[in-house]
Chains A and B, each alone.
Chain A
Amino acid sequence: MTETNFLLAEFCRNRLALIGAVIIGIIVLCAIFAPLIAPFDPAEQNLRERLQTPSIQHPFGTDDLGRDIFSRVVFGSRISLSIGICVVGITALFGTILGLLSGYGGRAIDEVIMRFVDIMLAFPSIILALIIAGLLGPGVVNVIIALSLTQWPAYTRLVRGMTLSMKEKEFVEAARALGASDTYILRKHILLNASNPIIVLATMDIAQTIIFAAALSFLGLGIQPPTPEWGSMLKAGIPYLRSATYITFFPGILLMLTVLAFNFIGDGIRDTLDPHTKEMTLVK
């Protein structure tokens, strides 16, 4: 059995992780094939059919402007997923580079980067994201910028710590004695060994980012109506919370499922990649 097959089998044995992967798989498919799945145009208003309870025609009901909630939820997954993946991609990349520099580049660089990280971490990151989003104004790109600017320190800290412990290891010294350059050591030895925790952190971070993005939209600083987005749909449903619960219920449930699923996957990846659990099962 090859390494990848083995890891995949190991991952699938973890039930929660498998459930998470299935949920995310379905949501990703919904996002890709949204125009085919959604029965209505998500922005199309139909005032004659406003505030309808879930029915066969409108599975999740309609909102106060008569828009089909199912279609809006399906299209909303596009925004939430793409914000989550973009932000995590950007922050993981730059956070990791800064962490490597900080851990490997010597005392002065380390001090500068880490003090900056401390400053960032001194603010609650959601408040900082709110300020930046408020300054930049609403819109998908601005939400991505605001969240990227506030989410990177976690990666820098993680990677710096890994780099510091890794560069004292004998295999790094051995590589240096063999004549390897610093970039080679960073790439082949340190990054390779730090990649598992980065992947785990990134997976869980997608969940947090989606929540933050929804929070920004909920507060009116993120994605604006009529663009369908889960956070702004929650906000739009507030006045009808007692009379038409389904307006907030379905986007809320989807948000919760997505976040839970990413967390399950993150846990599953962590357990799968842990070399100790791997060693034990191989011996068995």
Chain B
Amino acid sequence: MSILEVRNLRKVFTSGIFKKTTITALDGVTFSLKRGSTLGILGSSGSGKSTLARSLLRLIEPTSGQILMMGQDVTHVPHHSLGWLPQKIQIIFQNPESSLNPRMRIYDAIAEPLRIHSICTGDEEEDHILDLIGRVNLNPELLFRYPFELSGGQLQRVVIARILALEPECIVADEPTSMLDASVQAQILNIMKDLQESRGISFIFISHDRDVVEWMSDQIAVMEHGKLVEWI
């Protein structure tokens, strides 16, 4: 059964008032992702990878096309309106430092999804958070620090821990390790692989690094000028 299906997704950006210039960032992207598998998307910068990632999360409104999650059309559903389904797809951004609010302690950052969706009561919150950071091997001592006091690898684990709070079915990872050192890269990739094995989470792994994509993915699509041009 496919967890995520994307049909003919297009995104055209227009700019300018008098002379309209258009950029086609996504040009008919179609794929389907099986539960518990990883789709690697390989592409150079400017090929539309990040636009695809943001469109899948509906952070960008696609111009046309459909996004189906477990058979349901979620293309135009805003995030906070519909029960659990939209939250079942989550995103890891490239730069862990800018994906956490600099004024929020790590504890509050991880507690955020729990509080937004009232997943647990205040008393259970701490246990829940300790459980979440245990899954990504994060030291509990770091919980009361601010993001700028943590390293890139630690922050990326914080990001993973907070999205695990929503028990996602699918995670879009947009160059999750390109800002990290090689040794830390391996740790993060291993955490992702472990999560896939233990929880059956599907991944869309976006990168420009062929070796990393090959190691992570069951299937690889090469993206160029907004199209998936080649399947490996």
Contact = CB atoms under 8 A, between A and B. Distances in A.
B149 A177 contact: no
B116 A179 contact: yes
B148 A192 contact: no
A279 B102 CA distance: 12
B57 interface: yes
A178 B113 contact: yes
Interface centre among A175, A178, A180 (most CB of B within 10 A): A178
A189 B54 CA distance: 19
A179 B91 contact: no
B19 interface: no
Given A170-B99, A178-B163, A192 B104 contact: yes
A213 to B, nearest CB: 34
Interface in A6-42: none
Given A179-B79, A184-B116, A174 B104 contact: no
Contacts of A169: 98
Nearest to B174: A170
Contact of B100 (A171, A177, A279): A171
B21 to A, nearest CB: 18
A275 B80 contact: no
Contacts of A171: 98-102
A177 B54 CA distance: 9
A275 B93 contact: no
A173 interface: yes
A170 B174 CA distance: 12
Chain B interface residue number, banded: 20 to 34
Contacts, number: 68
B99 A174 contact: yes
Interface string A157-181: 0000000000001110111111111
Given A178-B87, A178-B162, A179-B116, A170 B104 contact: no
Interface residues of A, number: 20
B90 interface: yes
Nearest to B108: A188
B116 A178 contact: yes
Contacts of B76: none
A174 B112 CA distance: 11
B185 interface: no
Interface in B14-57: 54, 57
Nearest to B165: A178
B103 A193 contact: yes
B95 A178 contact: no
Contacts of A189: 101
B160 to A, nearest CB: 12
A282 interface: yes
Contact of B91 (A174, A181, A184): A174
Interface in B100-118: 100-104, 112-113, 116-117
Contacts of B103: 192-193
A178 B166 contact: yes
A189 B99 CA distance: 12
B159 interface: yes
B166 to A, nearest CB: 7
B116 A180 contact: yes
B149 A180 contact: no
Given A170-B99, A175-B101, A179-B113, 9 more contacts: A171-B99, A174-B91, A176-B79, A177-B79, A178-B116, A178-B163, A179-B86, A179-B116, A193-B101
Interface of A: 169-171, 173-181, 184, 188-189, 192-193, 275, 279, 282
10 contacts: A170-B93, A170-B95, A171-B100, A177-B90, A178-B162, A179-B79, A179-B80, A179-B113, A184-B116, A193-B103
